[in-house]
């Protein structure tokens, strides 16, 4: 009888979903600071899958994995380390931002895990506001579709002046600004190096982004110049079914693309059909890091 009860109990146990978190911090030059932030995420109980940093963007993207209930706590621990080490008032970089911990999305890999990701994101938002004194704004599905670009417009001072935070104080943190939190499916952060001046890159970005004259579904795009390397980029986020190969094809209609890079990990399906003759830096997928062979 006891053995049957044990088997029934084991059958009733459902494995906790694995969620990802992809915090973006406004530091891409101080490697000691990034090491400390990454160590804090891991000490809090998250598994560090990837770190990408760039000195021109002056930004780093961490990809973390963890279970509901533990991932938010690890995020807070890492965010505390970032707040201690990053002074947004001295920050210089080409990437738009509103905070030292600029965005902190919780990522669900399946539709079944959406509810768990939503709950984890709300727990995280509350903790960042109450424990670290950060004004927190929700975006995406948790905020009726409000976008990161909408919140970043004008910078942190303009944001706090026009919009009340969803969590935390109604004023900016003196050195860490504000933080944006969401629950979302995976996206692809994908940059293309183009042989074009900055004005042309901006025009191309406006043409191919969703809503533009050649708009690709779910594509966000901006044109940027990286002064250290003399590089001009069309920098994109792919938030729908559009693949990286389709973005390359769209940009090639306007100018030559000399290389591309992934910022953080991409789902395998987003790289389907990627042109073999185009160098793709930092090529790594969620699947190969999360489930290594």
Which tens digits make up the pLDDT trace of 56-101? 999 999 999 999 999 999 999 999 999 999 999 999 888 889 999 9
DSSP string, 222-281: EEEEETTTTEEEEEEEE-SS--HHHHHHHHHTTS-EEEEEEES-B-GGGGTT--TTS-EE
pTM here is 0.90
Q: Which two tokens stand for residue 121?
A: 């994101």
Percent of the chain with pLDDT strictly greater than 90: 89
Residue 117 CA from chain centroid, whole number: 15
Assess whether 130 carries a catalytic annotation. no
Phi and psi angles of residue 236, each rounded to the nearest 5 degrees, phi first: -130, 155
Asked if pLDDT for residue 279 goes beyond 60, the answer is yes
Other CB atoms within a 10 A radius of the CB of residue 15 amount to 6
The domain spans of the chain are 19-184, 188-290
Q: Which two tokens stand for residue 15?
A: 């494995």
Confidence of residue 15 (pLDDT cuts 50, 70, 90): low
24-47 b/e with 16+ CB inside 10 Å = b? bbbbbebeebbeebbebbeebbbb
CATH number of the 19-184 domain: 3.30.990.10
Same fold, 19-184 and 188-290: no
**Catalytic one of 53, 57, 95, 173:** 95
Can you tell me the distance from the alpha carbon of 204 to that of 198, in angstroms, rounded to the nearest whole number? 10
Question: Which fold does the domain 188-290 belong to in CATH?
Answer: Alpha-Beta Plaits (3.30.70)
């Amino acid at each position: 009888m006891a053995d049957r009860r044990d088997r029934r109990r084991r059958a009733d146990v459902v494995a906790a979903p694995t969620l990802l978190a992809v915090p973006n911090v406004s530091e891409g030059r101080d490697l000691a600071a990034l090491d400390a932030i990454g160590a804090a995420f891991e000490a809090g109980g998250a598994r560090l899958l990837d770190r990408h940093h760039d000195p021109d963007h002056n930004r780093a993207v961490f990809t973390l994995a963890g279970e509901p209930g533990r991932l938010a706590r690890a995020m807070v621990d890492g965010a505390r380390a970032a707040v201690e080490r990053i002074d947004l008032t001295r920050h210089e970089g080409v990437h738009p931002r509103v905070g030292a911990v600029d965005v902190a999305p919780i990522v669900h890999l399946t539709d079944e895990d959406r509810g768990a990701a939503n709950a984890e994101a709300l727990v995280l938002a509350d903790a960042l506001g109450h424990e670290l004194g950060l004004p927190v704004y929700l975006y995406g599905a948790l905020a009726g579709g409000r976008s990161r670009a909408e919140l970043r417009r004008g910078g942190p001072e303009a944001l706090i002046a026009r919009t009340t935070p969803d969590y935390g104080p109604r004023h900016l943190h003196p050195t860490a600004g504000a933080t944006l939190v969401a629950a979302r499916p995976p996206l692809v952060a994908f940059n293309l190096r183009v042989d074009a001046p900055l004005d042309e890159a901006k025009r191309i970005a406006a043409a191919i982004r969703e809503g533009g004259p050649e708009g690709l579904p779910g594509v966000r795009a901006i044109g940027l110049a990286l002064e250290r390397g003399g590089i001009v980029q069309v920098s994109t986020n792919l938030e729908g079914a559009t693949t990286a190969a389709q973005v390359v094809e769209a940009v090639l209609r306007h100018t030559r693309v000399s290389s591309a890079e992934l910022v953080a990990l991409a789902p395998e399906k987003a790289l389907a059909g990627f042109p073999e003759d185009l160098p793709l830096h930092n090529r790594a997928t969620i699947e190969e890091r999360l489930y290594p062979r």
